[in-house]
Structure 1
């Protein structure tokens, strides 16, 4: 026989559930794969990083997300015929959000060995070449010309910029700062001679502050891949779908056009501003 206390507890639990629409219907079955969850809920959840145009940006007034990573996500959601839901995150928290299944996908992750231990990665969406923003009057043509103790190079610590320049220019004086903006300020104030940035960010920085210096693509070309992060799981159906989608997008020329359109719309960078030696 049910006593008074257990009866009240059960009623309270049912009442609470009534305020959570779909609480029972939407609860994920044990061991459900990411792809199965997307098909069941008809929702694709991605991470978005505020203030990172042209990659991501959120309009404070309207709440609308824009940027080429958002456009890529919209195209992926459309191919699945599902709704897109953008959950705000940071570059640093995106891996944890994938691990905990808070999001289904994150656009713009570089597959470092450490990250591969915890999340899955797609094939490259596009390659992002490394460049330098150099102070006026200093125009090195090769990475080897930077590989000297007297050359001061600014980078954001722990980034792909940091990893690349540490490998390519170990003899240079590398000034590691907390954020890319700090490295830009160091260049502006003369604390460093150059700042290492992938070409997308370099063009964006110089469009905002043309007097900062000059963008140079040192040879030989050094690049990092821009990939899509997914939860790490035994079922590879979701990853396989994404890889097939990437092949189709690239074949149709949509990857290049999406990046260039957003660069012009959000940063004022024209297609002709992109150096011809940079692949995309």
Structure 2
């Protein structure tokens, strides 16, 4: 992956990832000087984030960014990213923060994190006519089963770990995986539960939601640049406050409801 390339280059040059950012202005100073917070968002990834025809953004990651900017008393700008490039986008200063991905040890070598924002398991959607052996991760560990994931998504790590023998269909975007199972290019598409439910809300032709078991729920964080840590410390306090008083849960559930996912339709096994 690209993070490995960046870190490998740093090793060759004899410098650390923190040294790579040493000459950069700390995010806190940059935000305060410009009076602007820049948040990376993935387009068409409901209920996390989505942009309509007028250019307006919606989704719970968008609501979180809005509240952080409000707390900082600064303006807010959104910049498009992808799961494949978001670490580099944060590290390079293209954006100050990204809400909603896993703090893997590899990523922690390149960027910093605040959280967790919430904890979430994985859901699956199947191509029409596909009858899975079951919904255990081990049931997918078969070369005859084509499993789709978006490159850089947390589902990629889980599939490679628990179903390494499956035929893996790695595509740039989650929307591509939804199209892949509809066209028969893949048998099963795996993503976080909320993203799986979001994909199904966008396309009624997609089949029922399957919850992967065991439920290896992973915590999701806000990612920030490695620097003097001032912005990360602020964001950590923001997360603790808003998770404790229920705001984060409200942003999650209300964003899901805005795309047609009613609270009562969320499986009882799904907790945030």
CA gap 1:180/1:65 in 2 versus in 1, 3 angstroms: closer
Counterpart contact for 1:153–1:196, Cα < 8 Å:
yes
User: Structure 1: how far apart are the matches of 2:62 and 2:184?
Assistant: 36
**Residue deviations 1:227-269 (CA, integer Å, cap 9, x gap):** 1111111x2221111111101111111111101111121x211
Partner of residue 22, structure 1: none
User: Structure 1: how far apart are the matches of 2:146 and 2:87?
Assistant: 31
Give the drift of 1:199. Answer: 0.9
**Residue deviations 1:179-216 (CA, integer Å, cap 9, x gap):** 43333233223343322121112112222333322211
CA gap 1:100/1:152 in 2 versus in 1, 3 angstroms: closer
**Residue deviations 1:53-89 (CA, integer Å, cap 9, x gap):** 322223332x332221111011112222222232344
**Matched length:** 248
User: Structure 2: how far apart are the matches of 1:210 and 1:59?
Assistant: 19
CA gap 1:204/1:152 in 2 versus in 1, 3 angstroms: same
**Residue deviations 1:18-71 (CA, integer Å, cap 9, x gap):** xxxxxxxxxxxx87432233334432222233333322223332x332221111
**Residue deviations 1:110-160 (CA, integer Å, cap 9, x gap):** 323333222211222112311111345447242233333443322234432
Partner of residue 145, structure 2: 151
Pairing of 1:1-280 with structure 2 (within 5 A): 32-61=25-54, 63-135=55-127, 137-138=131-132, 140-233=134-227, 235-265=228-258, 267-280=259-272
CA gap 1:60/1:126 in 2 versus in 1, 3 angstroms: same
Provide the TM-score with structure 1 as the length reference: 0.78
SS at match of 2:253: helix
- Displaced runs of 4+ in structure 1, greater than 6 A? none
SS at match of 1:176: strand
User: Structure 2: how far apart are the matches of 1:158 and 1:199?
Assistant: 16
User: Structure 1: how far apart are the matches of 2:151 and 2:80?
Assistant: 23
Greater Rg by CA: 1
Q: Which runs of 5+ in 1 are unaligned?
A: 1-29
Moved more, 99-108 or 83-92: 83-92
CA gap 1:246/1:214 in 2 versus in 1, 3 angstroms: same
Counterpart contact for 2:83–2:153, Cα < 8 Å:
no
Q: CA RMSD in A?
A: 2.4
User: Structure 2: how far apart are the matches of 1:132 and 1:215?
Assistant: 6
Q: Which has the higher contact order (CA 8 A, sep 6+)?
A: 2
Counterpart contact for 1:139–1:216, Cα < 8 Å:
no
